[in-house]
Amino acid sequence: MNDINAILLFAAIGCPLLCAVFLFAGKSLGNSLVKGIAFVGFLAPAVISFWLWTQYAPEIPGGYDFISKTSTGLQSFGIVLHLGLNGVSLPLFILAGVVGLAAGFYAMNSKAERLSQYLLLLLVMQAGLMGVFASVDVFFFYFFHELALIPTFIMIGVWGGRDRHFAAMKVTIYLTLGAMLSLAGLIVLYVKSGATSFDLLTLREILAAQPLSEIAQRNVFALLLFGFGILVSLWPFHTWAPLGYGAAPSSAAMLHAGVLKKFGLYGLIQIGLPLLPSGGKELAPLLAWLALGNVVIIGLITLVQRDLKQMLGYSSVMHMGYCFLGVACVSLIGSSGVVILMVAHGLTVALLFMLATCIYHRSQTFDMLEIGGLVKKTPVLAAFFSFAILASIGTPGPGLANFWGEFTIFLAVWDFRSWMVVPAVLGVILSAVYGLRAIGRIFFGGPTESFRERLDSDIQDMSWNERIPALLLIVVLLIVGIWPRLVSDNVNAALQPEFTQIEQVVSLSEQSSEE
């Protein structure tokens, strides 16, 4: 059975790619066949991810399962296609499958021009996302990220909205810079370790036995921090994100903001902190200050946004600050909270970007001041949007998974720097203000004169083509919110040995410096 599961792990990556090849080769395919092929490409990874979750039972608690290796032409350089899932990567692998299916289904039923090409690029992006979280080899971890990133640039530039060409250029410049810095950090780490393989498990064994010097750890971790930080929109390197998400087509924004942006945080937790514990500990205060910039400064900027999609873009950047705060704590509870929040945020922000487009289709504007009273015609849309906003805020309540991630991070921050809990909680208040205000203006506020005529016209509530992907995201979000241990138990089991070792290394380092 384990061999079959390992094959399925390959299939989760290969199936979207194969479907993309079919769409590329069959240029004269009918619209129905195009949608059918694409649906298979999006459905397979989601089904496989849930199946592997039910089968996850590593020999070592928290260790890797479904391990498989395939030789490549780069094997002489220590590069092997090595796949597997552990307690940290498994929930993010499922997140990629779920958001990919929702985004793909929504795209299939959209009115996008050149639909076959649009779905082809989404399928390539989907394959890259599955590969990122399934890779045990650090080279392919980076390679699959780039595979998913390239379609993002194209989709913004071709299918994007207002200012799409400028947005595509800015996103390309920023994310290319972030990718180059992170690649430099990974290469230096490989060279300095003296390893003959990019395999993460091998690197961990070597660096556990013979850690890098504190100076080397600090410098390499700095490269990874700023490289991954740019990719995740760490303040003040965040300006590409609101502009890019505002211009991006809905499904591309769902996949990038919901899943791909988690690449950098995942890299810091899975690679940076375990392999460079002293460097992570030394740069933790700097990271915490920058993270507070995300929470407070970007939170204040979000308050003044009139454009709904821009508000959601800035909100996404703001909430990444909580994740960076959790990483800065360099603790088990902090990193565990980060993983929970990454899953919850990924589901929530994907849902919000999709619902924002649903609002636009009915109002023909993203300007929240021009919309009002929409609840009369679209009660289901109002209910879904209100639920997503309440979840995004981190409201305590059954089924709101974001709360568990943020609350866990606050506990870790209290142990790290207790005073930082105050600005962190301020971020929750800012989120409540702009989130509840958006609900009030769009659905319950008085319509403007120009919008009143449109409101009196034949506006329809959400169709089932819109409800199905929304319900998929909501159901998974509810499951995680009601029983967060589905995520946290495996995460804690995977990270416990790593942070035990980190504490030992940091303790020995502090003793040496005192002597």
**At 66, is the secondary structure helix, strand, or coil?**
strand
Write phi, then psi, for 83 (nearest 5 degrees).
-115, 155
**Per-residue confidence (pLDDT) for residue 384, from 0 to 100:** 94
Biggest alpha carbon–alpha carbon distance for the chain: 78
**Per-residue confidence (pLDDT) for residue 74, from 0 to 100:** 61
- In 79-144 the beta strands, taken as DSSP E runs, fall at 81-85
**Per-residue confidence (pLDDT) for residue 511, from 0 to 100:** 58
The pLDDT tens digits of the residues spanning 376-428 come to 888 999 999 999 999 998 888 767 888 899 999 999 999 888 898 999 999 89
Sequential DSSP letters for 301-366: HHHT--BHHHHHHHHHHHHHHHHHHHHHT-SHHHHHHHHHHHHHHHHHHHHHHHHHHHHHHHHS--
Nearest to 145 by CA among 154, 132, 136: 132
Tokens of 270: 């899975």
In this structure, is the dihedral angle defined by the CA atoms of residues 483, 484, 486 and 492, taken in order, positive or negative? negative
3-state helix, strand, coil in the chain (%, to 5): 80, 5, 20
How deeply is 87 buried, as exposed, middle or buried, from its count of CB atoms within 10 A (0-12, 13-18, 19+)? Answer: buried
Per-residue pLDDT of the chain (515 residues; tens, 9 = 90+): 567 888 899 999 999 999 999 888 867 777 888 889 899 999 999 999 999 998 888 877 777 888 777 766 566 566 778 888 888 999 999 999 999 999 999 998 887 788 888 899 999 999 999 999 999 988 889 999 999 988 988 888 888 777 788 888 888 888 889 989 999 999 998 888 887 888 888 888 888 888 888 888 899 999 999 999 999 989 888 888 888 888 888 888 999 888 988 999 999 999 988 888 888 888 999 999 999 999 999 999 999 898 898 899 999 999 999 999 999 998 889 999 999 999 999 999 999 999 999 998 888 888 888 888 888 888 999 999 999 999 998 888 767 888 899 999 999 999 888 898 999 999 899 999 999 999 988 988 877 777 777 777 778 888 889 999 999 999 999 999 998 888 888 888 888 887 777 776 666 655 555 55
The pLDDT tens digits of the residues spanning 120-137 come to 999 999 999 999 999 998
**Per-residue confidence (pLDDT) for residue 507, from 0 to 100:** 63
CA–CA dist 148, 136 (Å, integer): 17
- For the chain, the domains span 2-514
User: pTM for this one?
Assistant: 0.92
Write phi, then psi, for 234 (nearest 5 degrees).
-70, 130
The four Cα atoms 117, 123, 125, 131 give a dihedral, to 10 degrees, of -150
**Per-residue confidence (pLDDT) for residue 504, from 0 to 100:** 67
